[in-house]
Amino acid sequence: MERNQPALDSSPAAEAWPAPARAWAMVMLLVAAYAVAFVDRQILTLLVEPVKRDLAITDTQFSLLSGLAFTFFYTIMGIPFAWLADRGSRRNLITASMTFWSMMTAACGLAGSFLTLFLARIGVGVGEAGLSPAAYSMIADSFPPEKRARPLGVYAIGAILGVGLALIIGGAVVHWANSAPPVVLPMIGELKTWQLAFLVVSLPGPLLALLMLPVREPARHEKAKAVAGSPASFRVFMRERGLVFWLLAMGFSLIGVSIAAYLSWAPAFMMRVHGWSIARVGAVYGGILLVFSTSGILIGGWWVDRLVARGYKDAVLRVAIAGAALALPFAIAAPFAPSGELAMAVIAVMSLAFGLSQGLPAAAFQVVAPNRVRARVIALYLLVGNIIAFTVGPTGVALISDYWLRDPAKIGVAIGVLSAFVVPLGLLALILVRKPFLAAQEAEAAA
């Protein structure tokens, strides 16, 4: 086992780190922004049955709305936005992004066909692409290296908060809309319940954009230098540490396929197989994500920090591997539970275990990437990770269900089959990356 004493920050700018209270206040605002982003992107998964019914589409077409329409442009636009984040105002980029994706979420609520909803989902993806690369870079410049795992893990909680709130709010809105008088808009007409849900969740984004304006831009630390072993450009980084990047990216992305499959199709599985209502699924599954997934992420960040303090240089990999390995049997077993209550209990344990690794990709890449390429490295990972996880996850399950099992009621079986295939591959990649990860970490520390 490789151990080392925690490195002390001896750079001239060490004293320039923001005050902890101000840094954590910024983190919490970014967490809120990330949560709103995930509410806006994930609300669709709870609305699968009414959207399919009103737009007359198949599971595979729905998977394109929940996966490809958002994910492809979200990941592609992440690269130029990361370039801007590495060079300009990260705060202004986040503010503009929040405003735009909120407008596009509202546009989803006004869509009346598969095509218009597809285009609006593309707009949501484009807008949200500007958030995470800039947010990760701001957080990294607000905390010394030995204290980053926890704030980065807390930021990752925003995703789970958003998914959980999307389910809870979406279920409540649909339940309310089913008993409330019809909502009629001029030139639009009467809104369906799922359209109203989109309009409701689009409201917090502009308010958060206003709250971002007073946030100070943190000073950039650890500027890349012409030192042996320190990649001074993105191209040099990919040439010298490309193996580390790709193994990390594939490991976390393949594990993410199972997570995305559950996020996209667990509500439909509970409604089709166990007869649960939208409101009940939203409340229970949303609550599970808020409690168990967030607990897993917090425990994972705390665990990494403890291992780092004890000298384990590969702490982030150890925790990620442990979490995914623990989650695997529960991910396979949940669809075969004999009752809805037992299925949700198994999903709760799975969510806690997956949470251990969910907040760690950014921490892993921060260790091996210099400051001036950090946002682009994260953006490239988000491109790879989101295309794999949120395209293969939703669409892979739909294809297995539509063309192999040929039974919409077996959507849960499709989730279990896909999980049994992709999670072991992800674990293998994380195991293989350990030695090159340690070498890259040593080179970056020396620089």
Judged against a pLDDT cut of 80, whether residue 92 lies above it is answered with yes
In this prediction, residues 87-100 reach a mean pLDDT of 91
In a domain, residue 386? The reply is: yes
Q: Evaluate whether 367 touches 316 at the Cβ level (below 8 Å).
A: yes
Confidence of residue 382 (pLDDT cuts 50, 70, 90): confident
**pLDDT attached to residue 8:** 41
User: Residue 192 contacts by C-beta under 8 Å, 6 or more apart in sequence?
Assistant: 50, 54
Is the pLDDT reported for residue 116 higher than 90?
A: yes
Q: Is residue 95 part of a domain?
A: yes
What would the mean pLDDT of 346-350 be, rounded to a whole number?
97
Q: Of residues 72 and 255, which shows the higher confidence score?
A: 255
What are the structure tokens assigned to 86, written together?
């590495």
In-domain check, residue 436: yes
Residue-wise burial string across 151-176, b where 16 or more C-beta atoms lie within 10 A, e elsewhere: bbbbbbbbbbbbbbbbbbbbbbbbbe
For residues 250 and 152, the model is more confident at: 250
Q: Which residue has the tokens 């390995």?
A: 325
CA-CA distance, 253 to 390, in Å (whole number)? 9
Q: Quick one: pLDDT band at residue 337, thresholds 50, 70, 90?
A: very high
Lowest mean pLDDT, pick from 96-100, 228-232, 236-240? 228-232
Beta carbons of 141 and 267 less than 8 angstroms apart: no
Tokens of 102: 């909120």
- Cα separation, 238 vs 228, whole angstroms: 15
The residue among 242 and 346 whose pLDDT is bigger is: 346
| Whether the Cβ atoms of residue 141 and residue 135 lie closer than 8 Å to each other | no
Q: How confident is the model at residue 288 (pLDDT cuts 50, 70, 90)?
A: very high
pLDDT at 349 over 80: yes
Residue 120 confidence (pLDDT) above 90: yes
Average pLDDT over residues 415-423: 95
pLDDT tens by residue, 18-69: 888 888 999 999 999 998 998 888 888 888 888 888 898 888 888 888 778 8
Examine residue 246 and state whether it is found in any structural domain, yes or no. Answer: yes
Confidence label for 390 from pLDDT (cuts 50, 70 and 90) = confident
Per-residue pLDDT, 7: 42
Higher local confidence (pLDDT), 311 or 355:
355
Total structural domains in the chain?
1
Residue 20: both structure tokens together: 């902890």
User: Which residues are within 8 A (CB) of 92 and not within 5 positions of it... i.e. 6 or more apart?
Assistant: none
Assign 259 a pLDDT band (cuts: 50, 70, 90).
very high
230 in a structural domain: no
CATH number (domain holding residue 78): 1.20.1250.20
| DSSP 3-state of 83 | helix
Task: Convert the pLDDT of each residue in 52-66 to its tens digit.
Answer: 888 988 888 888 887
List the single range of 169-173, 279-283, 292-296, 391-395 with lowest mean pLDDT: 169-173
Q: Does some domain include residue 164?
A: yes
- Write out the residue range of the structural domain in which residue 301 sits: 18-220+236-446
Find the mean pLDDT for residues 225-235: 52
Q: Is the pLDDT of residue 281 over 50?
A: yes
Q: pTM score, two decimals?
A: 0.74
101 pLDDT exceeds 90?
yes
In a domain, 387, yes or no: yes
- Looking at the chain, the whole-number percentage of residues with pLDDT higher than 90 is 34
Per the DSSP assignment, residues forming a β-bridge with 185 are 189
pLDDT of residue 222: 55
What pLDDT is recorded for position 252?
95
pLDDT of residue 447: 64
Average pLDDT, the chain: 84
Q: Which residues contact 56 (CB under 8 A, 6 or more apart)?
A: none
- pLDDT value for 147: 76
| Residue 422 pLDDT greater than 70, yes or no | yes
For 128-184, what is each residue's pLDDT tens digit?
988 988 888 888 888 887 777 778 778 877 777 888 888 888 788 777 776 767 777
Q: Of 92-106, 179-193, 349-363, 421-435, which range is least confident?
A: 179-193
pLDDT digits (tens, 9 = 90+) for 402-415: 888 888 888 999 99
Task: Report yes or no on 10 lying in a domain.
Answer: no
Q: What angle, rounded to 10 degrees, do the helices at 294-309 and 315-333 form?
A: 150
Q: What is the pLDDT of residue 180?
A: 66
More confident: 247 or 264 = 247
Give the whole-angstrom CA distance, residue 156 versus residue 201: 20
